[in-house]
Amino acid sequence: MIIEVLFPEVCNLYGDLGNIEYISRSLEASGETCEVINTDLYTRPAFADRDDIDLIYMGPVTEKGQVRVIESLKPYKDRLMQMIEGGQRFFMTGNAMEVFGKYIECEEGGPRIECLGIFPFMTKQRMMNRTSSFWVGQYGETDVVGYKSQFTHIYPEDTGSFKSLFKTEKGEGINPGFKDEGIREAGFAGTYLLGPLFVLNPVLMKEYLAEMGYKDIKPLYEETAVEAYNKRLAEYREPGRSYKY
């Protein structure tokens, strides 16, 4: 497998690069090879010239870093659109997906940051209003757990046609008024869930890799990972537990 990690020098908050480490080490332990290409800000991404990248990954970033990510990706907007239409796999965590929307509104009526404009949603950023919660829901039939901690929420232009990545069982969706979590457009997936998500959800990782053609990959230290996952699932489902904190 070949994974291109976009801008790991800034898109690395909340331990989320643990996702890539867990995927690549699990693949290798299962006898597959995994090449990770790290692409820096303001440099030419590998995806611009190659068609053999299995997964493009980007993690959570600071607000200043997010502006630099947009600047770095803008020259490749057409290529990104063409790849998304062609079914290229992307996985975005935290606020990374926001750069693919139309714009970020920094405060009520305040300045706007123009984004790539690939998907019809906008983002509201409220720096004095950080929200944190935990979340439980499903990817298809598979139970998923994760944390959320953010200053921002995305708002689709047309909620009716918006495709979510996960169904919410308990927790907040992509914004306080929208039930489900994440975005899925063909091979493009984005979610606010942190964890790192694939470490917290070995079952999800297995399923996601299988969708990409890597069947029967055993998550590293699967027994402990699944035990931790089951414990967390049970805790989050406890009736008395509120999900917001």
Q: Which of residues 64-123 bind other proteins (CB under 8 A)?
A: 64-65, 68, 71
Stretch that binds other proteins, among 105-113, 115-123, 146-154, 163-171 (CB under 8 A): 146-154
Please name which of 59, 54, 81 lies closest in space to residue 8, comparing C-alpha atoms.
59
Can you say how many angstroms the Cα of residue 31 is from the centroid of all Cα atoms in its chain?
26
**Total residues at the site for other proteins (CB under 8 A)?**
46
Q: How many CB atoms lie within 10 A of CB 1?
A: 19
Instruction: Give the whole-angstrom CA distance, residue 136 versus residue 168.
Output: 6
Binding residue for other proteins, selected from 85, 132, 163, 212, defined by CB under 8 A: 132
Binding residue for other proteins, selected from 3, 6, 10, 116, defined by CB under 8 A: 10
Please name which of 145, 108, 144, 114 lies closest in space to residue 127, comparing C-alpha atoms.
108
Q: Which of residues 202-221 bind other proteins (CB under 8 A)?
A: 220-221
Closer residue to other proteins, CB minimum distance, 139 or 147: 147
Closer residue to other proteins, CB minimum distance, 161 or 242: 242
Site string for other proteins, 174-203 (x = CB under 8 A): --------------------xxx--xx---
Instruction: Give the whole-angstrom CA distance, residue 136 versus residue 230.
Output: 12
Query: Do the bridges between strand 152-156 and strand 121-125 make them parallel or antiparallel, or are there none, so unpaired?
Result: antiparallel
Can you say how many angstroms the Cα of residue 125 is from the centroid of all Cα atoms in its chain?
18
Binding residue for other proteins, selected from 76, 103, 151, 155, defined by CB under 8 A: 151
Stretch that binds other proteins, among 9-17, 44-52, 113-121, 164-172 (CB under 8 A): 9-17
Spell out the long-range contacts of 128-131 with Cβ–Cβ below 8 A and sequence spacing 24 or more: 131/172, 131/244
Closer residue to other proteins, CB minimum distance, 18 or 187: 18
Binding residue for other proteins, selected from 50, 114, 227, 234, defined by CB under 8 A: 227
Q: Which amino acid is at 234?
A: A
CA Rg value for the chain: 17
Q: Which of residues 38-67 bind other proteins (CB under 8 A)?
A: 40-42, 62-65
Shortest distance in whole angstroms from residue 225 CB to other proteins: 5
Place of tokens 């991404």: 45
Query: Do the bridges between strand 183-185 and strand 142-150 make them parallel or antiparallel, or are there none, so unpaired?
Result: unpaired
Please name which of 126, 238, 133 lies closest in space to residue 192, comparing C-alpha atoms.
133
Contact footprint for other proteins (CB under 8 A): 9-10, 13-18, 21-22, 25, 40-42, 62-65, 68, 71, 127, 130, 132, 134, 147, 149, 151, 194-196, 199-200, 220-221, 224-225, 227-228, 231-232, 235-236, 241-243, 245
